[in-house]
Amino acid sequence: MKYRIKKQNCLPYDKVHEECGVFGIATPEDKELSVAHEAYVALFALQHRGQEAAGIAVNNRGVIHCHKDVGLVSSVFNQTNLDAMPGQMAIGHVRYSTTGKQSRENAQPISITHVKGNLAIAHNGNLVNAGELRREIEMGGGIFRSSNDSEVLVYTIVRERLKCGSIEEAVVNTMKVIEGAYSLVIMSPRKLIAARDPHGFRPLCIGRLDGSYIFTSETCALDALGAEFIRDVAPGEVCVVENGELKSMHCGIECKTSACVFEYIYFARPDSVIDGASVELARQEAGKYLSIEHPVGADVVIGVPDSGIPAAIGYAKYSGIPYGVGLIKNRYIARTFIQPGQEKRERSVRLKLNALRTAVEGKRVIMVDDSIVRGTTVARLVKLLRDAGAAEVHMRISAPPFRHPCFFGTDIPERSQLIAHGRTVEEMRQIIGVDSLGFLSLEATRKIAVGCKLGFCDACFSGEYPVEVPEEAEKNMFESEIEL
């Protein structure tokens, strides 16, 4: 009997989804500090980077205990299970899947036992050669429990560990085999390790708290813990904490740095500082350039909560048009609130956002948002504003149009699902129903992160990938239904 893979229906998302968030802490044995509780607080601060699953692994004198599940940090953890996780080291992870389905098996950290000891890993990013490496491991008899590429990382590190004298050497050797985006925190029986890919696609920084060393995706997690920011992990750097001491080495791969510019536009929390640049100020800079590149006569500038607000403030500040609150966000609806069917999806938009009539009625409105993916949600927001009496609605986007998929950890749909694919700005304007539409230029996008020490990857806008990528993102055939 022959089987045919059945294509899955696309989910009705109209927003680029967040990255994963990683965290690690190593504390001296003489310190009274619950690493599990510290990880829990940090993951709360990183919750914006992933709402599908959360997990914490704790190292108690070489024995690693991991607790993880599907759901938000607040639903996965409670006082009881945190109190039951004593230890001197911990790593944590919040997940949004870019590869692999939503399931407990795909939640991180991944914790294993191999012939030389225990190992736990948390990963933010995507490997472009994960499919090739996975096939090689499977043909050698390897068995995978999950469908994400982070497990490929684990197998590769363990394979290298069997051939060398230390876990950090194994990580360096692994970095010479894998390609793509990865910010990692790794826990062995005695060491906490952090590594960042040579391009620096994903953020990773180092902090200090009462004698403990911390690695985390964003500085906002350090602020939540009351920790001191030390520095960012450099692209290609491997940091090792052992016996309370921090040492560093480089993987030896030299290349042009390519930090994801969309971290500054949308992903990161506005109170974070990434590679020397304030996220909040970068978004206001985007608004400034939008006001210069796409001016229009209007009475009020509003932002789409929450990520569109800083750019709206920047647009208002530099254009001289007053800023106002025109859309009210329901803070009690989950970000994953999805209703099947067009009518119910329309209702979900009204549940999440509603227009403030007193702010927009009879006025020419400039609505600023960070991006347009499929265009369906934006069109509904425009209708909300018009129903509330807006005389004109002008849309300004603080990023260039999405025209290309991302292979480095951002959940950008395939080209055919992007509103900008094969369309002019005027055609997009007509589809979403605004009086005018303006996108930030690619040139301006590269200037918004003032003070950033790295170059940028903007391939989702430009199509210029910093490394060779496959023609399309690989999907696991065993996650698709079959037709008999």
Q: What is the pLDDT of residues 427-463, one digit of tens each?
A: 999 999 999 999 999 999 999 999 999 999 999 999 9
Distance CA 233, CA 223 (A): 17
Q: What is the pLDDT of residues 223-266, one digit of tens each?
A: 999 999 999 999 999 999 999 999 999 999 999 999 999 999 99
pLDDT value of residue 345? 52
Q: What is the pLDDT of residues 54-110, one digit of tens each?
A: 999 999 999 999 999 999 999 999 999 999 999 999 999 999 865 445 567 789 999
With contact defined as beta carbons under 8 Å apart, do 300 and 324 qualify? yes
pLDDT value of residue 281? 98
pTM exceeds 0.75 for this model: yes
The residues that are catalytic are: 20
Helix ranges (H only) for 364-458 are: 376-387, 425-432, 442-445
The arithmetic mean of pLDDT across residues 190-219, rounded, is: 97
pLDDT value of residue 402? 93
102-106, 190-194, 337-341, 471-475 — which one is most confidently predicted on average? 190-194
Paired sense of beta strands 300-303 and 364-369, if any: parallel
pLDDT value of residue 8? 38
pLDDT value of residue 142? 73
What is 280-451's CATH topology?
Answer: Rossmann fold (3.40.50)
pLDDT value of residue 475? 47
Q: What is the pLDDT of residues 156-178, one digit of tens each?
A: 999 999 999 999 999 999 999 99
Q: Is the pLDDT of residue 291 over 80?
A: yes
187 DSSP β-pair partners: 120, 192
Distance CA 209, CA 25 (A): 9
- Domain locations in the chain as residue ranges: 4-258, 280-451
Instruction: Select 4-258's CATH number: 3.60.20.10, 3.30.70.20, 3.30.70.270, 3.40.50.720.
Output: 3.60.20.10
Q: Where are any strands of DSSP class E within 100-144?
A: 110-114, 117-124
With contact defined as beta carbons under 8 Å apart, do 370 and 268 qualify? no
Burial per residue of 380-418, b for 16 or more beta-carbon CB atoms within 10 angstroms, e otherwise: bbbbbbbebebebbbbbbbbbbbbbbbbbbbbbbeeeeb
Distance CA 374, CA 41 (A): 34
Q: What is the pLDDT of residues 368-423, one digit of tens each?
A: 999 998 888 899 999 999 999 999 999 999 999 999 988 898 777 678 788 999 99
Q: Residue 15 has which token pair?
A: 């927003």
Q: Is the pLDDT of residue 16 over 60?
A: no
Write the DSSP string, 313-374. Answer: HHHHHHH-PPB---EEE-TTS-TT---SSHHHHHHHHHHHEEE-HHHHTTSEEEEEES--SS
Q: Is 80 helix (H, G, I), strand (E, B) or coil?
A: helix
Q: Is the pLDDT of residue 344 over 60?
A: no
Q: What is the mean pLDDT of the chain?
A: 88
pLDDT value of residue 29? 81
Q: What is the pLDDT of residues 305-343, one digit of tens each?
A: 988 999 999 999 999 999 999 999 987 765 433 344 445
Element (H, E) at 55: strand 53-60
pLDDT band at 15 (very low <50, low <70, confident <90, very high): low
pLDDT value of residue 179? 94
pLDDT band at 482 (very low <50, low <70, confident <90, very high): very low
pLDDT value of residue 343? 53
Distance CA 6, CA 10 (A): 12
Distance CA 71, CA 52 (A): 5
Q: Residue 158 has which token pair?
A: 């363990």
pLDDT value of residue 423? 94
pLDDT band at 13 (very low <50, low <70, confident <90, very high): very low
pLDDT value of residue 14? 54
